[in-house]
Amino acid sequence: MSESDPFDEIIAAEQDRDPDLAVIEAGSRTLRTQGGPPEADVPARPEDPATDAALREVEAELATRWGETKLEPSVDRIAALMDVLGEPQRSYPSIHITGTNGKTSTARMIEALLGAFDLRTGRYTSPHVQSITERISLDGAPIAAERFVETYEDIKPYIGMVDSQQEYRLSFFEVLTGMAYAAFADAPVDVAVVEVGMGGSWDATNVIDGDVAVVTPIDLDHTDRLGGTPGEIATEKSGIIKQGATVILAQQPVDAAQVLLKKAVEVDATVAREGLEFGVVARQVAVGGQLLTLRGLGGEYDEVYLPLHGPYQAHNAAVALAAVEAFFGVGAQRPGPLDIDTVRKAFAAVSSPGRLEVVRTSPTVVLDAAHNPAGARATAEAVGEAFGFSRLIGVVGASGDKNVRGLLEAFEPIFAEVVVTQNSSHRAMDADELAAIAVEVFGDERVQVEPRLPDALEAAITLAEEEGEFAGGGVLVTGSVITVGEARLLLGRG
């Protein structure tokens, strides 16, 4: 490689900077001003009353099980379910994705690329933004509510069998994972793209053996369960790296990278590292997104338009491209890059609801599901780059089990004022408790409290409008996927 090759320059740059960390679900005049039609990949409630009632019944039954925050670190129950179902997860190859931030966006990009190359895909991601059916997708779209209900009813007797034989019943997430794997086998899919729920080794999804294991950037989150340092967290996440797999590593903290590389050596896995074997060569802001030049495992891909904002999404794109190349054997069995026009077409069609998503204008309202300090830092950087706000108002509703102070500190430099609120989840931090922390970070004059999310949105939009119609005020709604999903509904998207 010549010294003039721009990829040499990005390798040098990657060594000296912190990793870009990815991010990942009324009645007033203002709230009736909509931002456009609903996104097709975030379904609304079923229009048919009978289907809606059946879906609500399934949701109610699932709600009686352990939620996603209550875990018993074992794959025994999900393995037992797979056994009685006939091991559906072994009937198709898979790409398995873990990491702290960026998993869902990366999964969507991988899915889009595979679909563009005429493969039938199944995608399993979590949490959902608005509808539980979003979690299980076939051919790039959430499964229909009817099919979701049918899948649950098909495996319900087997769920009961496993429940009766285990110390603890299958959890909400374990049942959904079983449904996804069964739906993919029934379709059938050519390849499954699976995002872990939490961690790796004992995550319910880890009954698959991914041909490609993807690790997005690791940072501190769920420290009470996964560990207090990136290296400790990486130990748990490395559990998805299986014998002989190909591992695609996004930029990682040094201690996390060491753990992941050691695990790859132990299981004889092949490794490709962002900034060395692949990466972002160049990027420039474009209308509605960014224009990229990516270095993949098989060569360079230029003039790739990505309709998502932020440096971290460019890095997610590089990771997704390398994962799909690895799946097709590029750089190993297959020389040369993938077809450039197909790659461009796939990336141009990518969407990621709730990730720097513009849902209305005048003033502009942006939704982003950042829920930890690393994700918030990435979002803050992206907002500054992609939007020319002269005054940005934050609406923050967070979960009580998150590092809320770190989240607020990341947003403090870009928010002129912040409206603190709470979503409808039982995990939501009380608005007054959140306000007390916000006052310490922002000062009393910059904090407004509106416990009801509709009131918080109204207040923030009013504050943004104070500068006038053409002054460039905006609103960023963030802090939780649930907050973003509920705001999305209130603002007419879905």
**What's the average model confidence in pLDDT over 223-234?**
72
At 28 the pLDDT is: 27
Beta strands 141-142 and 136-138 are antiparallel
State the pTM of this model.
0.85
In eight-state DSSP terms, residue 171 is: P
Confidence of residue 155 (pLDDT cuts 50, 70, 90): very high
Q: Is the pLDDT of residue 60 over 90?
A: yes
At 52 the pLDDT is: 94
Contacts of 29 (CB under 8 A, 6+ apart): none
Three-state SS for 426?
coil
Distance CA 214, CA 356 (A): 23
Distance CA 317, CA 338 (A): 14
Three-state SS for 182?
helix
Which tokens hold the place of 451? 């416990």
Q: What is the pLDDT of residues 235-290, one digit of tens each?
A: 999 999 999 999 999 999 999 999 999 999 999 999 999 999 999 999 999 988 99
Quick check: 254 and 103 in contact, CB under 8 A?
no
DSSP secondary structure letters along 428-462? BPPHHHHHHHHHHHH-GGGEEE-SSHHHHHHHHHH
Distance CA 440, CA 115 (A): 48
DSSP secondary structure letters along 183-239? HHHHTT-SEEEEE-SSSSTTSGGGGS--SEEEEPPP-S-SHHHH-SSHHHHHHHHGG
Confidence of residue 39 (pLDDT cuts 50, 70, 90): very low
Vertex 434, ends 454 and 363: CA angle to 5°? 40
Quick check: 476 and 412 in contact, CB under 8 A?
no
Distance CA 437, CA 200 (A): 32
Vertex 221, ends 220 and 223: CA angle to 5°? 85
Q: What is the pLDDT of residues 22-34, one digit of tens each?
A: 322 222 222 322 3
Measured in whole angstroms, how far is the alpha carbon of residue 287 from the centre of its chain? Answer: 23
Distance CA 301, CA 416 (A): 39
Q: What is the pLDDT of residues 308-357, one digit of tens each?
A: 999 999 999 999 999 999 999 997 777 789 999 999 999 999 998 888 99
Beta strands 191-195 and 94-98 are parallel
